[in-house]
Amino acid sequence: MTMNTQCIEFSLLDNARDSIVHAVDLLAYEGEMEPSTKYKRAILAVAHAIELLLKERLRRIHPSLIWENVDNFPDLGAKTVSLDKAITRLKRIGGLEFSEKDEKLIRSIKRTRNAIEHYSWSIASQEAEYIIGTSLSLAIFFSETHLRHTIMGYGEVTEGMFSDLLASNPHFAQAHSYRQSEEYKKHVKSKAECAFCKSLVESNQEACPKCGHWNLLIGDGWLEFDPDDDEPF
Protein backbone atom coordinates (compact mmCIF):
# COMPACT_ATOMS: atom_id res chain seq x y z
CA MET A 1 0.00 0.00 0.00
CA THR A 2 1.40 3.38 -1.01
CA MET A 3 0.86 6.28 1.34
CA ASN A 4 0.56 9.76 -0.11
CA THR A 5 2.66 12.17 1.90
CA GLN A 6 2.19 15.91 1.72
CA CYS A 7 5.06 18.28 2.33
CA ILE A 8 4.04 21.00 4.77
CA GLU A 9 6.16 24.14 4.86
CA PHE A 10 6.30 26.57 7.77
CA SER A 11 7.94 29.77 6.56
CA LEU A 12 8.78 32.81 8.67
CA LEU A 13 6.21 34.83 6.75
CA ASP A 14 3.46 32.22 7.09
CA ASN A 15 4.07 31.94 10.82
CA ALA A 16 4.06 35.73 11.21
CA ARG A 17 0.78 36.00 9.33
CA ASP A 18 -0.81 33.30 11.50
CA SER A 19 0.21 35.20 14.63
CA ILE A 20 -1.14 38.50 13.28
CA VAL A 21 -4.47 36.97 12.27
CA HIS A 22 -4.71 35.30 15.70
CA ALA A 23 -4.09 38.64 17.46
CA VAL A 24 -6.64 40.42 15.24
CA ASP A 25 -9.22 37.74 15.93
CA LEU A 26 -8.68 38.06 19.68
CA LEU A 27 -8.93 41.84 19.63
CA ALA A 28 -11.78 42.29 17.14
CA TYR A 29 -14.23 39.87 18.74
CA GLU A 30 -15.25 39.48 22.36
CA GLY A 31 -15.81 35.72 22.48
CA GLU A 32 -16.02 33.79 25.73
CA MET A 33 -12.35 34.04 26.68
CA GLU A 34 -11.39 35.83 29.88
CA PRO A 35 -10.05 39.34 29.10
CA SER A 36 -6.75 38.63 30.86
CA THR A 37 -6.17 35.53 28.74
CA LYS A 38 -7.27 37.28 25.56
CA TYR A 39 -4.93 40.24 26.05
CA LYS A 40 -2.03 38.03 27.07
CA ARG A 41 -2.34 35.83 24.01
CA ALA A 42 -2.79 38.80 21.68
CA ILE A 43 0.32 40.58 23.00
CA LEU A 44 2.41 37.42 22.70
CA ALA A 45 1.09 36.80 19.19
CA VAL A 46 1.81 40.27 17.82
CA ALA A 47 5.26 40.38 19.47
CA HIS A 48 6.05 37.03 17.89
CA ALA A 49 4.83 38.28 14.50
CA ILE A 50 6.99 41.42 14.57
CA GLU A 51 10.08 39.39 15.43
CA LEU A 52 9.44 36.99 12.53
CA LEU A 53 8.77 39.82 10.06
CA LEU A 54 12.11 41.45 10.90
CA LYS A 55 13.88 38.12 10.48
CA GLU A 56 12.16 37.49 7.15
CA ARG A 57 13.40 40.85 5.86
CA LEU A 58 16.93 39.89 6.95
CA ARG A 59 16.59 36.49 5.30
CA ARG A 60 15.76 38.13 1.98
CA ILE A 61 19.05 40.03 2.13
CA HIS A 62 20.94 36.87 3.09
CA PRO A 63 19.75 33.83 5.12
CA SER A 64 22.84 33.89 7.35
CA LEU A 65 21.76 37.25 8.80
CA ILE A 66 19.01 35.67 10.89
CA TRP A 67 21.67 33.95 13.02
CA GLU A 68 23.17 35.85 15.97
CA ASN A 69 26.58 34.61 14.87
CA VAL A 70 26.58 34.34 11.07
CA ASP A 71 29.37 31.74 11.29
CA ASN A 72 26.78 29.31 12.71
CA PHE A 73 24.61 29.43 9.57
CA PRO A 74 22.73 27.14 8.95
CA ASP A 75 22.91 25.34 12.32
CA LEU A 76 19.33 25.05 13.63
CA GLY A 77 20.69 24.49 17.11
CA ALA A 78 22.39 27.89 17.17
CA LYS A 79 20.81 31.07 18.48
CA THR A 80 18.96 33.27 16.01
CA VAL A 81 19.45 37.01 15.94
CA SER A 82 18.13 39.13 18.81
CA LEU A 83 15.54 41.80 18.14
CA ASP A 84 18.01 44.61 18.82
CA LYS A 85 20.61 43.16 16.47
CA ALA A 86 17.95 42.50 13.82
CA ILE A 87 17.06 46.21 13.84
CA THR A 88 20.74 47.17 13.65
CA ARG A 89 21.41 44.84 10.71
CA LEU A 90 18.31 45.99 8.85
CA LYS A 91 19.44 49.60 9.22
CA ARG A 92 23.14 49.12 8.46
CA ILE A 93 23.01 46.34 5.87
CA GLY A 94 19.46 46.53 4.59
CA GLY A 95 19.21 50.30 4.41
CA LEU A 96 15.85 50.35 6.22
CA GLU A 97 14.83 53.38 8.21
CA PHE A 98 12.77 53.16 11.38
CA SER A 99 11.19 56.20 12.94
CA GLU A 100 12.23 56.76 16.54
CA LYS A 101 8.67 56.01 17.62
CA ASP A 102 8.53 52.71 15.71
CA GLU A 103 11.90 51.59 17.03
CA LYS A 104 10.76 52.30 20.59
CA LEU A 105 7.51 50.46 19.89
CA ILE A 106 9.35 47.35 18.69
CA ARG A 107 11.59 47.31 21.76
CA SER A 108 8.66 48.01 24.08
CA ILE A 109 6.58 45.10 22.77
CA LYS A 110 9.63 42.87 23.24
CA ARG A 111 9.99 43.93 26.87
CA THR A 112 6.27 43.44 27.48
CA ARG A 113 6.44 39.98 25.94
CA ASN A 114 9.39 39.09 28.17
CA ALA A 115 7.57 40.37 31.25
CA ILE A 116 4.54 38.19 30.47
CA GLU A 117 6.60 35.10 29.73
CA HIS A 118 9.16 35.33 32.52
CA TYR A 119 7.70 37.47 35.33
CA SER A 120 4.49 38.25 37.16
CA TRP A 121 2.79 41.10 35.33
CA SER A 122 -0.45 43.09 35.42
CA ILE A 123 -2.04 45.50 32.95
CA ALA A 124 -5.18 47.60 32.54
CA SER A 125 -7.47 46.69 29.67
CA GLN A 126 -7.06 50.11 28.01
CA GLU A 127 -3.27 49.79 28.13
CA ALA A 128 -3.45 46.29 26.66
CA GLU A 129 -5.65 47.46 23.79
CA TYR A 130 -3.25 50.32 23.07
CA ILE A 131 -0.23 47.98 23.02
CA ILE A 132 -1.92 45.47 20.75
CA GLY A 133 -3.53 48.02 18.43
CA THR A 134 -0.41 50.09 17.78
CA SER A 135 1.80 47.00 17.46
CA LEU A 136 -0.58 45.35 14.99
CA SER A 137 -0.54 48.49 12.88
CA LEU A 138 3.26 48.37 12.73
CA ALA A 139 3.32 44.65 11.88
CA ILE A 140 0.79 44.97 9.04
CA PHE A 141 2.52 48.06 7.61
CA PHE A 142 5.97 46.44 7.75
CA SER A 143 4.71 43.33 5.99
CA GLU A 144 3.07 45.29 3.19
CA THR A 145 5.84 47.87 2.77
CA HIS A 146 9.06 45.94 3.29
CA LEU A 147 7.96 42.41 2.37
CA ARG A 148 5.31 43.21 -0.26
CA HIS A 149 2.99 40.81 1.50
CA THR A 150 -0.63 41.72 2.23
CA ILE A 151 -1.83 40.20 5.49
CA MET A 152 -5.52 40.85 4.94
CA GLY A 153 -7.32 40.24 1.65
CA TYR A 154 -9.81 42.65 0.09
CA GLY A 155 -12.83 40.95 1.64
CA GLU A 156 -11.31 40.98 5.12
CA VAL A 157 -10.45 44.68 4.80
CA THR A 158 -13.83 45.84 3.51
CA GLU A 159 -16.24 43.74 5.54
CA GLY A 160 -14.36 41.13 7.53
CA MET A 161 -11.89 40.80 10.37
CA PHE A 162 -9.81 43.87 9.50
CA SER A 163 -12.78 46.23 9.30
CA ASP A 164 -14.09 44.80 12.57
CA LEU A 165 -10.73 45.56 14.19
CA LEU A 166 -10.85 49.15 12.92
CA ALA A 167 -14.29 49.53 14.49
CA SER A 168 -13.43 47.87 17.79
CA ASN A 169 -9.98 49.32 18.55
CA PRO A 170 -9.52 53.12 18.17
CA HIS A 171 -5.78 52.84 18.85
CA PHE A 172 -5.32 50.56 15.85
CA ALA A 173 -7.56 52.75 13.70
CA GLN A 174 -5.59 55.89 14.57
CA ALA A 175 -2.19 54.24 14.03
CA HIS A 176 -3.31 52.63 10.78
CA SER A 177 -4.63 55.94 9.47
CA TYR A 178 -1.34 57.68 10.28
CA ARG A 179 0.72 55.02 8.51
CA GLN A 180 -1.34 55.51 5.38
CA SER A 181 -0.59 59.25 5.36
CA GLU A 182 1.96 60.83 3.04
CA GLU A 183 3.69 62.34 6.07
CA TYR A 184 4.56 58.88 7.38
CA LYS A 185 5.30 57.26 4.02
CA LYS A 186 7.61 59.92 2.62
CA HIS A 187 10.78 58.36 4.06
CA VAL A 188 9.78 54.97 2.59
CA LYS A 189 9.09 56.39 -0.87
CA SER A 190 12.56 57.96 -1.05
CA LYS A 191 14.13 54.53 -1.27
CA ALA A 192 13.75 51.49 -3.48
CA GLU A 193 14.73 47.85 -3.06
CA CYS A 194 17.80 46.78 -5.03
CA ALA A 195 16.82 43.89 -7.29
CA PHE A 196 20.10 42.13 -6.51
CA CYS A 197 21.02 42.48 -2.83
CA LYS A 198 17.48 43.38 -1.58
CA SER A 199 18.78 46.36 0.40
CA LEU A 200 16.89 49.65 0.38
CA VAL A 201 18.93 52.42 -1.25
CA GLU A 202 18.26 55.94 -2.48
CA SER A 203 16.31 55.73 -5.72
CA ASN A 204 18.26 58.59 -7.27
CA GLN A 205 21.45 56.50 -7.29
CA GLU A 206 22.14 54.42 -10.37
CA ALA A 207 24.60 51.94 -8.86
CA CYS A 208 23.61 50.30 -5.58
CA PRO A 209 26.17 51.37 -2.93
CA LYS A 210 25.72 48.04 -1.16
CA CYS A 211 26.44 45.57 -3.99
CA GLY A 212 27.50 47.73 -6.95
CA HIS A 213 24.76 46.56 -9.31
CA TRP A 214 22.93 49.10 -11.45
CA ASN A 215 19.17 49.37 -11.25
CA LEU A 216 17.17 51.14 -13.94
CA LEU A 217 14.70 53.63 -12.50
CA ILE A 218 11.30 53.21 -14.17
CA GLY A 219 8.51 55.44 -12.85
CA ASP A 220 8.20 55.09 -9.09
CA GLY A 221 10.32 51.96 -8.82
CA TRP A 222 13.30 50.19 -10.28
CA LEU A 223 13.21 47.77 -13.16
CA GLU A 224 14.08 44.41 -11.67
CA PHE A 225 16.70 42.28 -13.37
CA ASP A 226 17.05 38.57 -12.80
CA PRO A 227 20.16 38.05 -10.61
CA ASP A 228 20.47 34.53 -12.05
CA ASP A 229 21.35 36.11 -15.40
CA ASP A 230 24.50 37.70 -13.99
CA GLU A 231 27.68 37.12 -15.94
CA PRO A 232 30.62 36.34 -13.61
CA PHE A 233 33.86 38.31 -13.93
pLDDT 10s digits, 79-130: 999 999 999 999 999 999 898 999 999 999 999 999 999 888 888 899 999 9
User: What does the DSSP 8-state code read for residue 192?
Assistant: E
pLDDT of 203 over the 80 cut: no
Say how many CA atoms lie within 13 Å of 9 toward its Cβ: 4
pLDDT 10s digits, 144-161: 989 999 887 644 554 677
Regarding pTM above 0.85, the answer is no
Cα–Cα distances in Å, from 228 out to 63, 200, 224, 232?
A: 17, 20, 12, 10
Q: In the predicted model, what is the mean pLDDT of the chain?
A: 83
